[in-house]
């Protein structure tokens, strides 16, 4: 699946998107955050406060307990500040 990062999440990780293949045990958005956090210091820094991070699956906002099976694109970003 494709993972995208925006705003300071993107800046902390250092890339805007990547393809990942998490193991089957990674079932929810929360699991994916935990799995990504172990990929390196930049990820651990971006996800150091997981409750602050918002997520979207295929362009729709989701909660941390949302299942990721079948997702084409998952995005992680800070709370929104548009308007």
Partner 1 sequence: MTAAATIRIQQADFDIAQEIAALTKGRSDVGAVVTFSGICRGSENGEPIAALTLEHYPGMAEAEIKRHTDEAMSRWPLTGLTVVHRVGRITPGENIVLVLAASAHRQAAFQAAEFLMDYLKANAPFWKREESAKGTSWIEARGHDDDAAARWTKS
Closest distance of CB 23 from partner 1, Å: 27
Q: Which two tokens stand for residue 55?
A: 């997520």
List the x/- string, 45-64, binding to partner 1 by CB under 8 A: -----------x--xxx---
Instruction: Please say whether the dihedral angle defined by the alpha carbons of residues 9, 10, 16 and 20, taken in this order, is positive or negative.
Output: negative
Q: Would you count residue 15 as binding partner 1 (CB under 8 A)?
A: no
Q: Considering only CA atoms, give the Rg of the chain.
A: 12
Closest CA to 51 of 78, 82, 11: 78
10 vs 35: CA distance, rounded Å: 17
- Which CB sits closer to partner 1, 32 or 75? 75
| Residues contacting partner 1: total by CB under 8 A | 16
Closest distance of CB 52 from partner 1, Å: 9
Residues of this chain that bind partner 1 (CB under 8 A): 4, 6-8, 56, 59-61, 75, 77-83
């Amino acid at each position: 699946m494709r993972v995208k990062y925006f705003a300071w999440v993107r800046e902390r990780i250092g890339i805007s998107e990547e393809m990942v293949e998490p193991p089957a045990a990674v079932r929810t958005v929360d699991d994916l955050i935990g799995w990504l956090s172990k990929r390196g210091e930049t990820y651990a820094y971006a996800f150091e406060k997981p409750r602050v991070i918002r997520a979207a699956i295929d362009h729709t906002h989701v909660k941390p307990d949302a299942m990721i099976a079948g997702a084409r694109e998952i995005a992680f970003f800070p709370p929104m500040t548009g308007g």
